[in-house]
Structure 1
Amino acid sequence: MVALLSSLKPTARQRVGRLSSYLVGIIFVVLVIVVADWPTIAKQFANPEVAAKMWPGIVTIALRNTLLYTIASFILGSLLGILLAVLKVAGGPLGWFAIGFIELFRGIPALLTIFAFAFVVPIAFNVQVPGGAVGAGILGLTVVTGAYTAEIIRSGIEAVSPGQREAARSLGMTSGQTMFWIILPQGLRIVIPPMTNEFVMLLKDSSLLFIAGATVQSKELTTFARDSLSQTANATPLMMAALLYLLVTLPLTWLVGRLEKRLDPKR
């Protein structure tokens, strides 16, 4: 068998490898279908009675809050990321501050950052974050998003042709005017696909807001499903939450792919 494969052309070997992978995958799926206890799976993971009790709150409260928290954190984090990226590119003392900020909050897990704004900051400085637990959670996600988007935006800024800067300078524009009117708009256009991907990641990271605490009306999707799981002793709420996440993330992931192809200069 090995000798036979060795005698094949590279393209033929690749074709055989793909067919073998498909065959193994089909066999695995068939075995799962045959061996699985479908009545028990349906009762524990797709129970219509449990699902009915969660409706419509899982959409009108949980999904709505998830989207609101994600959008708010993304907008604020993107603005912070633009500021940090510009400072880092500019250099100097503020550039070093931006580098330290970015490395700090990229190196710390998002869960710990949210915890810090929800509990450590109020205790250490005797201040209350506006918006209570929700405000602290959004602030934590904003800071983390700002740190990650700063690097994305910086890469976009540096991808702009140096000739753009030279042309702007020849027209008498200052460094600040060149950055905000010429370089930054072009850089932001370049990073639209990775920024969209960052939004998808942030949507899933919103599940970490549980650490800050939540009221009945401020629960996001994962917390809502987890609490329902505790009340019903059934995993259907988690499956419903997973489906709602996919309902939002799959179109966004498709959009990222389309944007990457459309903005690819080689196409």
Structure 2
Amino acid sequence: MDAWSQLIDTFFNGQAMAQVIPDLLTVGLPNTLILSVSSGIIGSLLGMVLAVMGISRNPVPRWLARIYTDVFRGLPAVIIILLIGIGLGPIVRQVTGSTNPYPLGILALSLLAAAYIGEIFRSGIQSVDRGQMEASRALGFSYGATMRLVIIPQGVRRVLPALVNQFISLIKDSSLIFFLGLLASQREIFRVGNDATANSGNLSPLVAAGLLYLVLTIPLTHLVNVIDHRLREGRREKTASETADAAVTSDATGAAGVTPGGQP
């Protein structure tokens, strides 16, 4: 019983959790969202460039994309973050005079995300039936217009669940930025919980930080399932009653002499 009480007091101390929650919500949560959303957007743009390079007929960009992907997917994330955040820090300070490691943290996460997202995009683009390209070219579209208007949109649509999963991983990977020694106002969720644990000697603040990560990631996990189900099943067909209701509404509108736009 003493061991059970010690476990509860060490990891689920309500008072210690309550003390750290304000900092988690006002400091940690906004910074985590800034890190993950910014790096997600930049990583998606870079990932699309890598995907296009990866399917190029020219071997030079294709091999460059492959080398980049292999390096950034093969190395542990923390090493990439340290190499960019600390390795490039002195160069950035000389050029800009800024000692803020925050942009370098976003850059590191973006480059990591680009390697994974690029492979996701590439697989989605290559999964589009070859006949789509042939049909578009037969209609007079150029190769670039076909890729931009036909192939890439279909490929991206097919990999939306994998993209959301990658964004979930990016939210969790943002916790590694604490290695760069961020300012007190720049701390993300994990760093806020870690600092509170160091000050109190209790691990409950870290558990509170983990629960906040769950609040962010569980809805996204369900969103993945919804998107995946929608892509597999397609749009829900209207039932007979819904069709009849729509017909009655249309007839009533026509009888009143009113157009759908509201003009008589």
TMscore range, shorter length: 0.7 to 0.9
Residues 121-156 of structure 1: CA deviation (Å, up to 9, x unaligned): 244685469783111111000001000000000000
Moved more, 52-61 or 158-167: 52-61
Partner of 1:83: 49
Provide the rounded CA distance (Å) in 2 between the counterparts of 1:206 and 1:97. 27
Provide the rounded CA distance (Å) in 1 between the counterparts of 2:98 and 2:231. 39
SS at match of 1:264: helix
Kept in 2, the 8 Å contact 1:165–1:183? The answer is yes
Provide the rounded CA distance (Å) in 1 between the counterparts of 2:98 and 2:90. 15
Partner of 1:136: 104
Unaligned runs of 5+ in 2: 236-264
Provide the rounded CA distance (Å) in 2 between the counterparts of 1:265 and 1:100. 37
Q: Given the alignment of the two structures, is residue 95 of structure 1 paired with residue 73 of structure 2, yes or no? A: no
Q: Which runs of structure 2 are paired with 1:220-231 in the superposition (5 Å)?
A: 220-231=188-199
Partner of 1:169: 137
Residues 73 and 36 of structure 1: is their aligned pair in 2 closer, same or farther, counting only changes over 3 Å?
A: farther
Q: Which amino acid aligns with 1:102?
A: T
Residues 231 and 185 of structure 1: is their aligned pair in 2 closer, same or farther, counting only changes over 3 Å?
A: same
Kept in 2, the 8 Å contact 1:225–1:238? The answer is yes
Partner of 2:36: 70
Q: Given the alignment of the two structures, is residue 42 of structure 1 paired with residue 5 of structure 2, yes or no? A: no
Partner of 2:179: 211
Kept in 1, the 8 Å contact 2:89–2:99? The answer is no
Q: Report deviation, 1:108.
A: 1.3
Kept in 1, the 8 Å contact 2:21–2:208? The answer is no
The one of 210, 213, 216 aligned to 1:245: 213
Provide the rounded CA distance (Å) in 2 between the counterparts of 1:243 and 1:86. 38
Q: Which runs of structure 2 are paired with 1:121-200 in the superposition (5 Å)?
A: 121-123=88-90, 127=95, 132-200=100-168
Provide the rounded CA distance (Å) in 2 between the counterparts of 1:191 and 1:154. 10
Q: Report deviation, 1:40.
A: 2.4
SS at match of 2:55: helix
Residues 109 and 128 of structure 1: is their aligned pair in 2 closer, same or farther, counting only changes over 3 Å?
A: farther
Residues 234 and 98 of structure 1: is their aligned pair in 2 closer, same or farther, counting only changes over 3 Å?
A: same
Q: Report deviation, 1:251.
A: 1.2
Q: Which amino acid aligns with 2:173?
A: D
Unaligned runs of 5+ in 1: 1-34
The percentage of counterpart residues that share the same residue type is 38
Residues 114 and 203 of structure 1: is their aligned pair in 2 closer, same or farther, counting only changes over 3 Å?
A: same
Kept in 2, the 8 Å contact 1:221–1:241? The answer is yes
TM-score (norm 2): 0.82
Partner of 2:248: none
**CA RMSD in angstroms, aligned pairs only:** 2.1
Kept in 2, the 8 Å contact 1:65–1:220? The answer is yes
Provide the rounded CA distance (Å) in 2 between the counterparts of 1:241 and 1:179. 43
Provide the rounded CA distance (Å) in 2 between the counterparts of 1:131 and 1:161. 50
Provide the rounded CA distance (Å) in 2 between the counterparts of 1:214 and 1:121. 15
Partner of 2:87: 120
Q: Which amino acid aligns with 1:151?
A: E
SS at match of 1:157: helix
Kept in 2, the 8 Å contact 1:81–1:148? The answer is yes
Kept in 2, the 8 Å contact 1:164–1:182? The answer is yes
Q: Which amino acid aligns with 2:181?
A: G
Q: Report deviation, 1:100.
A: 1.3
Partner of 1:57: 23
